[in-house]
Amino acid sequence: GIQVEQSPPDLILQEGANSTLRCNFSDSVNNLQWFHQNPWGQLINLFYIPSGTKQNGRLSATTVATERYSLLYISSSQTTDSGVYFCAVIRDDKIIFGKGTRLHILP
């Protein structure tokens, strides 16, 4: 089945820094999403981005489908950005997640 790999697994940054999270997938996809898991466990939709680039405030994402990777950029990090970021694809009507990147933003 399709494999989704995220890197780095952990990232510690000072408030105000920028960060780049990467997601590699092993097969072509037409559905790719980025989620942020908040401290209470809910997965918050950040981007639906099977290809191209999108921006939402300090966050942006780029998916290069032909090269099978996606990047999530966080600029001017805030402590509220802390948490786990998941990349996920949908294959055969089930969501396949990467293992996530745990981001710690220090004040």
Partner 1 sequence: KAGVTQTPRYLIKTRGQQVTLSCSPISGHRSVSWYQQTPGQGLQFLFEYFSETQRNKGNFPGRFSGRQFSNSRSEMNVSTLELGDSALYLCASSKRVQGNTEAFFGQGTRLTVV
Binding site for partner 1 (CB under 8 A): 30-31, 33, 35, 40-43, 45, 48, 50, 86, 88, 90, 92-97, 99-100
Sheet holding 59-64, edge to edge: 4-7, 19-25, 69-74, 59-64, 52-56
- Residue 98 beta carbon to partner 1: minimum distance, rounded to whole angstroms: 9
Q: Closer CB to partner 1, residue 84 or residue 105?
A: 84
- Residue 76 beta carbon to partner 1: minimum distance, rounded to whole angstroms: 27
